[in-house]
Structure 1
Amino acid sequence: MSDRVRILGIDPGLRITGFGVIDKVGQKLVYVASGCVKSSDKDSLPERIKTLLEGVAEVIATHQPDEAAVEKVFVNVNPQSTLLLGQARGAAIAALVGAGLPVAEYTALQVKQAVVGHGKAAKEQVSHMVCRLLQLPGEPSADAADALACAIAHAHGGQGLGAISTRGLRVKNGRLV
């Protein structure tokens, strides 16, 4: 019996939905894949939702995750943007649930806390820690990095990794080194 758990992280967006797939083997995290599902601004809203639903379903079929983690929507000053983001998130969750995956949800604050060690971390710090934790040779796109961070947060129960992973690291020019 293997102790490997494959986790799919999703960073939902109407134009770009990031995905990141990692394996948790014991306490070790192993990078599997990452990328983005993109919809066209020229398509109608229903067509864009369909593109995202089918794209996430394709990622699931390709990588066969055991669990999924999705970033929660934050309410911003533009209600229309919040509603559109919620619809994109709904499409992603529908694909995940439709595939029979258990879905966990994390706020951006929880993800940053788990990956970097504090909830107010800059996107660059999150991306840098994702690269360090997964030993990536280069930085993934911002959306893919956010999705990988969501998967990492889930792998560590949504909390506490930052304090462990940053032990012995220093901050130089706003980046962990």
Structure 2
Amino acid sequence: MTLILGIDPGSQKTGFGIINQQGSRAEYVTSGIIRLPRESLPARLKIIFDNVSEIIAEYAPQEFAIEEVFMARDPKAAIKLGQARGAAIVAAVNADLPVFEYAAKSIKQAVVGTGAADKAQVQHMVKSLLKLPTVPPEDAADALAVALCHAHTHQSMIKLAGARTSRRGRAR
């Protein structure tokens, strides 16, 4: 059993989602959105840090996965996004969690099957994969998709490691 905290960072809204990975099966634990007030950026970064720290303290995840910064049309927006990511990552590192980072395209590929999926497709697949009664809000769904991407990547690495040791006939 591995609890994975996924984060979809943003300077206005930051999504979070926690799943419980048991072998190749993932179960929904919780998700939500950290809504940030129209305050200064440093004040919003503190809110992200404090909220992610509280989520970590309450649920005690073993792993932390976050979406990488993508280059938006607006460089200022990309910088703010990077700072929001940094606040969340520092909360994870302070809790001694390993941090895993995934590109948006990789997350969509892992969850939907195509790196060009739109938000509605991600929401639908997250609902389906986690057997949720309703479609989660966009930012929460994105955070759950980050966690699912990490779970799938981690599971694939375990399978690859097992294939290598069985081909060689011995464990390393």
- Measured against the shorter chain, the TM-score band is 0.7 to 0.9
User: 1:159 deviation in Å?
Assistant: 9.2
Deviates more, 1:102-111 or 1:151-160: 151-160
Q: TM-score, normalised by structure 2?
A: 0.88
Query: Stretches of 4+ moved more than 2 A in 1?
Result: none
- Which of the pair has more CA radius of gyration? 2
Determine the structure 2 residue equivalent to 1:168.
none
Query: How far is the alpha carbon of 1:39 from its aligned partner?
Result: 1.4
Partner of 2:60: 64
Provide, for residues 6-29 of structure 1, a one-character-per-residue CA deviation record: whole Å limited to 9, x for no partner.
000000001110000000011111
Is 1:128 the counterpart of 2:124 in the alignment?
A: yes
Which one of the candidate residues 146, 153, 168 is aligned to 2:149?
153
Give the TM-score of the pair, scaled to structure 1: 0.85
Q: Which runs of 5+ in 2 are unaligned?
A: 157-172
Task: Establish whether residue 19 from structure 1 lines up as the match of residue 16 from structure 2.
Answer: yes
State the match for 1:51 in structure 2: 47
For residues 120 and 154 of structure 2, the distance between their equivalents in structure 1, rounded to whole angstroms, comes to: 20
Contact 1:12 1:70 in 2 (8 A): yes
Corresponding residue pairs, total: 156
Q: Is the 1:114–1:158 Cα contact (8 Å) retained in structure 2?
A: no
Give the root-mean-square deviation of aligned CA atoms: 1.3
Structure 1 unaligned residues grouped into runs of 5+: 161-177
Residue 90 of structure 2 is aligned to residue 94 of structure 1 = yes
Partners of 1:128 and 1:143 lie apart in 2 by: 13
Tell me the SS of whatever aligns to 1:13.
coil
Residue identity in the other structure for 2:29: V
1:107 aligns with one of 103, 108, 113: 103
Q: Which residue in 1 is equivalent to 2:70?
A: 74
What are the superposed Cα offsets for residues 123-164 of structure 1, whole Å, 9 maximum, x if unpaired?
A: 11111000000000011110000000000000011798xxxx
Q: CA deviation at 1:38?
A: 1.7
The separation in 1 between residues aligned to 2:93 and 2:35, in whole angstroms, is 20
When residues 17 and 10 of structure 1 are mapped into structure 2, their CA distance, relative to the original with a 3 A threshold, is same
User: Aligned partners of 1:68 and 1:153: how far apart in 2?
Assistant: 12
Letter in 2 for 1:7: I
- Equivalence for 1:8: 5
Identity of aligned residues (%): 53
Which amino acid is the alignment partner of residue 142 of structure 1? E
Amino acid corresponding to residue 39 of structure 1 in structure 2: L
